[in-house]
Structure 1
Amino acid sequence: MVDIALDVFNYIFTVILIGVFLTWISLIFSMYKSFTRTPYLDKFGNTSKEIPKVSIILPARNEEKFIGNCLESFVRQDYTNYEIITVDDSSDEILGRLLRNMQKKVKRLFP
């Protein structure tokens, strides 16, 4: 009786292992098909020597304390083709004067 139970257990265990093995084989095969059929972009060199222009839009409302550091961090960037557009959102006149003064230093600033 014990021999029959052991044989049945071995048979069931073998069937389970074969099923797991076949599952892994089908998974590997479908991954291979997926990778070989995936379209790729052609490699090409950079045809344009011109870098695109970036517009930085900076909304500000009563930001007199922080706007100077913010604009200086933009100016310190190594990217050269950009413009800074500040939007004064109904703040005090102090911010407007500060931005106009900074425009004299930063030519890419448009208050």
Structure 2
Amino acid sequence: MRRMIFLCLLLAFSTAVTAGDDYEAEIDHLLQFVATSGCTFHRNGTDHSAADAADHLRLKYRRAGKYVGSAEQFIDRLASESSWTGKPYTVTCAGVTQPSGEWLYAALTTLRDPAVSH
């Protein structure tokens, strides 16, 4: 009986750890997506390269990651607007400018379901 309880607890713990790792893997994917996008990021009135934008978001995540428990929270709390000015971030890809949050949500949707194309 004890062995069964132990195995159930072990399974529950490993499932919780795996679930926790999933959102971190998704955030890592989003950061890589940003870095390799070739798009221009607009933050507080200044244009930034894709690599610089990814570095900035990594820094924000390192500093405030404890407030993030999902890829959605990463997008909403760290990757959509300046934490200093409150101004929204935008991204320009192939001549089209859009809010960075919308762009990242589309990338997250595609990651989770590759059959969905944006």
TM over 0.5: no
Higher helix proportion:
2
Max radius of gyration: which structure? 1
| TM-score (norm. length: structure 1) | 0.33
